[in-house]
Amino acid sequence: MDRLLRLDALWNWLPAFRAVGETQHLPSAATALHVSPSALSRSVRLLEQRLGCTLFERRSRSLLLTPKGRQFLDAVRTAMRQLDDAVEDLDQREPRGPLRIASVTAVLVDLVAPAARWLGQRFPDLHPQLLTKVDAIVPRLLAGEIDVAFVHHGITLPGIHCERLALLPRSVYCSAEHPLSRQRTIAPEQLADVPFVTATADQLGQTQDGWPAAWPRQVALQTDQLTIGFEMCLAGTMLAVLPDLLAARRGRLHRLPIEGCSALELFAIRRTGETSVGRADARLITAVRERLQVEKPVRGAEQAAT
């Protein structure tokens, strides 16, 4: 009961604190909450007095969070997000509002975007938003700024639920006009001097597209957009290591008879907590999983040939 009474004394000031903490600017926070700056300033001051610590450092018209203020803002965000999730789980109405989706580009166009569009058509009050250039996915997911993300690496952290959706085989592809498309057998060493378009190298200088590190090759172009790799592969003499499922969907590409490229893992991550069947994030993950099941390509000598 003591804890309940303590929170009851703070409860009405928390939205004001969060708005000011996220903007660190009283007029902007006041506009967002439709109140006056003076009312917000008073709420923040009363909260600081009740807590017995300084949450903001006052500088001219700005209020900068102190270390304790940043710590408290993280806690308030988490509590509000969990409460909002619980309200959504209890709500028996159809999904509605924004659904913020972060996705790696490897599956964005062919899997995630169609699934999001289907979900938006089924539930007109739901508004999917696709984000490709997202930094700090996990903190933004925990803060409620992102609802679901599709990534290539599993994540094990408190507050995060991660599920593996697929292991996507990858192969070497070229255009149907490429000289190599007419060869029935190819050894990896034959590709040492053939130009490749690859994924952008990581911090260690490695291009994580599934090409075995022991096999030499010539990297002519790097890109952080998989669709550019498709188009450059189609347009000329460059080869590319691409997921078979996505290459087969695009068509017009020829799969070279070379085995040894590693598969691409796909994970879906969202906030933890009980998820009802009505939750939009759960529905989207299910839709992407279903698309993966019905669109598995048949591998063979000419799976993706024109």
CATH 3.40.190.290 boundaries in the chain: 170-261
CATH number 1.10.10.10 is the correct assignment for the domain at 2-79: yes
With beta carbons less than 8 A apart as the criterion, state whether 61 and 23 touch: no
The Cα–Cα gap between 23 and 273 comes to 28
For residue range 125-179, what is the model confidence (pLDDT) as tens digits? 899 999 877 678 888 888 788 999 999 888 888 888 899 999 999 999 999 889 9
Topology of the domain covering 170-261: D-Maltodextrin-Binding Protein; domain 2 (3.40.190)
- Residue 63 C-beta-side C-alpha neighbours within 13 Å: 24
Give CA 90 to chain center in angstroms: 26
Residues 91-166+265-294, CATH architecture: 3-Layer(aba) Sandwich (3.40)
| Model pTM above 0.75 | no
| Residue ranges, CATH 1.10.10.10, the chain | 2-79
- Cα 38 to chain centroid distance, Å, stands at 38
Cα separation, 206 vs 211, in Å, equals 10
Alpha helices in the chain (DSSP H): 2-10, 14-23, 26-33, 37-51, 67-90, 105-107, 113-122, 137-142, 226-235, 244-250, 280-294
Per-position pLDDT tens, the chain of length 306: 577 777 777 888 888 888 888 888 888 888 888 888 888 888 888 888 888 889 888 876 678 889 898 888 888 887 777 777 666 666 556 778 889 999 887 788 888 999 999 999 998 989 999 987 767 888 888 878 899 999 988 888 888 889 999 999 999 999 988 999 888 899 989 999 999 998 887 666 667 788 998 899 999 998 877 778 888 888 878 999 999 988 877 678 899 999 999 998 999 999 876 444 457 888 899 999 988 886 654 443 344 333
d(CA 190, CA 206): 21
Give pLDDT tens digits for 244-262: 988 877 678 899 999 999 9
User: What's the token pair of residue 273?
Assistant: 């907590």
d(CA 168, CA 37): 53
Residue type (1 letter), 177: E
Every domain range in the chain assigned CATH 3.40.190.10 = 91-166+265-294
CA distance 41 to 285: 42
